[in-house]
Amino acid sequence: MESLSDEVWDVVIAGTSIPQSLLALALSRSGKKILHVDRHAYYGGDDAGLSLDDAQSWVEDLRQFRSTVYKDAFISRYTDDESRTPSSLGPSRSYTLSLSPQIIYAKSEFLPSLVSSQIHTQLEFLAVGSFWVLDDGKLHKIPSTREDVFNDESLSMKDKRGLMKFLRYVIQEEEESTTASKEDSTSMSLKDALTTEFKIPDSLQAPLVALALSPVPADSVPFDKALVRIRRHMKSMGHFGQGFGAVVAKYGGTAEISQVACRAGAVGGGVYLLGHALQALSAPANTPVLAPLDGGDSTLVECTLSDGTRIRTRYVAGNRDDIPISKDVVEEVASLCTTWRSIHIIADPLKSMFPPTSENGPIPAVTIVLVNGGTPEHGKDPVYLQIHSEDTGECPAGQCLIYASVVSEDASSEDRLEDAVRLFLDTVGAKDTLLWSLSYRALGPAIDRTFNSPPSRKHTPVIIFPPKPQDIAFDDGILHAVNDAWQVIMGSEAATRSTFLRFEERDTELED
pLDDT in tens, the chain (512 residues): 568 898 999 999 999 999 999 999 999 999 999 999 999 999 999 999 999 999 999 999 999 998 999 999 999 998 655 554 545 899 999 999 999 999 999 999 999 999 999 999 999 999 999 999 998 889 999 987 777 887 787 788 888 888 888 988 988 755 454 443 445 555 789 999 999 989 898 888 999 999 999 999 999 999 999 999 999 999 999 999 888 999 999 999 999 999 999 999 999 999 999 999 999 988 544 444 434 444 444 679 999 999 999 999 999 999 999 998 755 444 454 578 999 999 999 999 999 999 998 888 899 999 999 997 655 555 578 999 999 999 999 999 999 999 999 999 988 899 999 999 999 999 999 999 999 999 999 999 986 554 444 444 445 799 999 999 999 999 999 999 999 999 999 988 887 666 899 998 866 544 44
Residue type, 198: F
Q: What pairing do the DSSP bridges indicate for beta strands 271-274 and 278-281?
A: unpaired
Set out the domains of the chain in order of their start, with CATH numbers.
1-57+252-287+297-332+462-496 (3.50.50.60), 93-176+185-251+335-445 (3.30.519.10)
pLDDT number for residue 297: 44
**Three-state secondary-structure class, residue 430:** coil
Residue type, 74: F
CA angle at 429 for the pair 83 and 352, rounded to the nearest 5°: 110
How far is 171 from 177, CA to CA, in rounded Å? 10
Q: What is the pTM of this model?
A: 0.90
**Three-state secondary-structure class, residue 95:** coil
pLDDT number for residue 295: 43
CB 13 within 8 A of CB 36: yes
CB 97 within 8 A of CB 82: no
pLDDT number for residue 402: 98
pLDDT number for residue 330: 46
How far is 330 from 353, CA to CA, in rounded Å? 44
How far is 452 from 222, CA to CA, in rounded Å? 20
**Three-state secondary-structure class, residue 71:** strand
**Three-state secondary-structure class, residue 267:** helix
Whose CA is closest to 12, among 40, 35, 44, 45?
35
The secondary structure of 353-407 as a DSSP string is: G---SSTTPPPPSEEEEEES-SSGGG-SPPEEEEEE-GGGSSS-TT-EEEEEEEE
Residue 56 CA to chain centroid, in angstroms?
22
